[in-house]
Structure 1
């Protein structure tokens, strides 16, 4: 049933209109009434009428001002204005707020019936139009995932040639300007290690959906993660304020890896291709991302194509240097390395309370993850994660020795989030639990 609001400061006029409506539109209209503009506005917010009959001249907020407020939240409101005067100024204002009809007082019964009947017909037509629009949108939303998978498949399998993909781009609202491929593989460890194939498929799809939702908070993207082992995303960065797209890519992948580990207890690796400016070129970005994933990366989990290509070039360059020349270069190189990695070790010590990921630290010093990982082990004799753990435990021993903090406080102070895991790592390096270590130190003091 439609709702009609009668707003008039004259009670007699309200009663007259109400009587005509009841007599001629029984069962079609639910009637509400207001005696001034303020009441009309307040009532319209709660009942959301379909039709309003409102007097222009009312005390306080007049009919025109009231309609301005009402149509701001009810753009499809069918409005009929009542006036005792045929004011031209009011007519101009009425046009601005899309008033549909007007009645001059005194009005006849027939005029009221005619105007309301037209209003009912208009509202019904608008309601049908709205239903049709919703159905069309529903069809489009149902079709979008299909189009997304189809376009992703065409890119993944390099079958864009000869395909009219304009419709895909239009429906998915993608231009592929400033776009790149991210391919994610799930590592065979933690919660993923000892589950069945069916369970793996289920959790892969859940992670795939989560990643897509996470990316869409900031960027446009399409994804394909249902029928492939890897989770593939083509991401469009609509950000012209920066030219450092590589940092944006690495930061996004780094944050995703952290959130997936936290939410699903699953570890991932991500391969990242270069930024390109068309859907045809994104095929190359996908190839690069896949190349990153299959490359032997030691314990590097966020791999950008430049890191791989840079490493290959460095390796082949080193291999081509003759004996004496290579020896001289190595001496200078070793001095630079030692100096640089003293700064790296200092950085780790100063930031021990934070989450120290290899990718982030390498980026902080402007180094590729491969060069950083390999050279760090060359300089220190151990890999990066091992060094960070040893450094955390050394700081933890210092803090426990002072007796000013309890074990839990020390755990968080040196960058661990789980006191149980902290105790496990501490015992691995020191042979005793942190609690026992603290107790032994206190006994020595006394």
Structure 2
């Protein structure tokens, strides 16, 4: 649909131009419409409402003249095609209008054949520009749809250290990233629950959270992500350049904490985040990714956010212990038997993995991983087993109430104690005691 606007204070001029347009485009009558304005003010109002493609406008009109009207209309219709009408006395104004990107001008009184030809040229130009803009929009849409695919492919290539199989420069150009001062953030949506086992999230929810985080990150920095075909949510984030390393580190950690709060606020989901160090260049991103994964394994504190640089010394210490116990399993077993004895002797206390690991000069990550290798259970399960076994012994003594036994084995809530007991024994403490009679 082509829209024309004829703006002239003389009705016979408007009628003549309308007649020329309708005569020139009889075969297209269903595909165009013509509006009329008697002055500059009406031209502006009608243009704002109907958004014409081609505007034929007289320069000399009462009130707002044609040139002023053109300037106003161009503010909201930058692609409109203007043909101005002028008498010889206003030729200089017409030249000025042409300088201001008005496409054509016609001198009054106009020749119908000349006007018809100029209108045909205008129609061809407008249709050509519309088709061009349509193709541009289609291409932009294709690129927009392709961007997430490219992000995922580039991220996947970084994660798997396979950059050589793709055209890295092309991907970086399309994604508008040079990977200067860039780090990896790995977000884990599976939380270990000490009481009821691991919690898993649906793939749909994972994708929704992944998209939300990416939008959140891109509000501040350039970032790409991969979360559809990976276990964790993986992002590569290009920070603003900072000369001070401590400032960069602080910004990275604060960003991760903001992401954690945002996910909790919007989805009600607790997450853990591992952060690699910042590097210059895409070929070092795999290293940052590996660091983020390793940091994630150490995120056992309350914040759930760990920056690799902060746990490098723990990693070195754990490696030292691995080397120390490499050929001495008995020594490692003896250490963890001491841990077991500590748990048994302190059942009434508030025992947790982090504090227990610190007591034996071990990192929480090394302690958790090695504990499971030695005993075959994770720390929380093993702690519950010892407590429940102790409770079973105490339940034989009828002089002790269920509540007293609950406190004696380290539980502060009798209802929770009953729930855990039933999980491991299949019956409540009361039912278990009844069976003993």
The TM-score, its normalising length taken from structure 1, stands at 0.67
The CA RMSD over aligned residues, in Å, is: 3.3
Q: Which runs of 5+ in 2 are unaligned?
A: 321-353, 360-410, 415-437
Aligned partners of 2:192 and 2:199 also within 8 Å: no
Q: Equivalent residue for 1:3?
A: 3
Aligned partners of 2:94 and 2:105 also within 8 Å: no
Q: Equivalent residue for 2:388?
A: none
Q: Equivalent residue for 2:342?
A: none
The counterpart of 2:176, out of the listed 173, 177, 183, is 173
What is the CA deviation profile of residues 92-141 of structure 1, one whole-angstrom value per residue up to 9, with x for unaligned ones? 42233211111100012212211111111111111111111111112212
1:266 shift after superposition: 1.5
Q: Equivalent residue for 2:149?
A: 146
In structure 2, distance between residues paired with 1:311 and 1:266 = 28
Alignment of 1:154-169 (within 5 A): 154-161=157-164, 163-169=166-172
The counterpart of 1:73, out of the listed 51, 73, 76, is 76
The counterpart of 2:226, out of the listed 205, 213, 224, is 224
In structure 1, distance between residues paired with 2:243 and 2:69 = 44
Aligned partners of 2:84 and 2:104 also within 8 Å: yes
Aligned partners of 1:223 and 1:234 also within 8 Å: yes
What is the CA deviation profile of residues 370-425 of structure 1, one whole-angstrom value per residue up to 9, with x for unaligned ones? xxx879x98xxxxxxxxxxxxxxxxxxxxxxxxxxxxxxxxxxxxxxxxxxxxxxx
State the secondary structure of the residue aligned to 1:20: helix
Q: Equivalent residue for 1:255?
A: 258
In structure 2, distance between residues paired with 1:224 and 1:159 = 15
State the secondary structure of the residue aligned to 1:281: helix
Q: Equivalent residue for 2:115?
A: 112
1:21 shift after superposition: 2.2
In structure 1, distance between residues paired with 2:306 and 2:129 = 54
1:161 shift after superposition: 3.8
The structure that has the greater radius of gyration is: 2
Q: 1:245 to 1:106 in 2, by over 3 A?
A: same
1:307 shift after superposition: 1.1
In structure 2, distance between residues paired with 1:286 and 1:166 = 20
Alignment of 1:93-132 (within 5 A): 93-132=96-135
Q: Equivalent residue for 1:12?
A: 12
Question: How many pairs does the alignment contain?
Answer: 328
Are 1:301 and 2:304 an aligned pair? Answer: yes
Are 1:206 and 2:208 an aligned pair? Answer: yes
1:312 shift after superposition: 5.0
Q: 1:12 to 1:240 in 2, by over 3 A?
A: farther
State the secondary structure of the residue aligned to 1:280: helix
Q: 1:240 to 1:188 in 2, by over 3 A?
A: closer
Aligned partners of 1:86 and 1:104 also within 8 Å: no
1:177 shift after superposition: 1.4
Alignment of 1:24-423 (within 5 A): 24-26=24-26, 27=29, 28-85=31-88, 87=90, 89-161=92-164, 163-188=166-191, 200-238=202-240, 244-295=247-298, 297-311=300-314
In structure 1, distance between residues paired with 2:49 and 2:65 = 20
In structure 1, distance between residues paired with 2:91 and 2:278 = 61
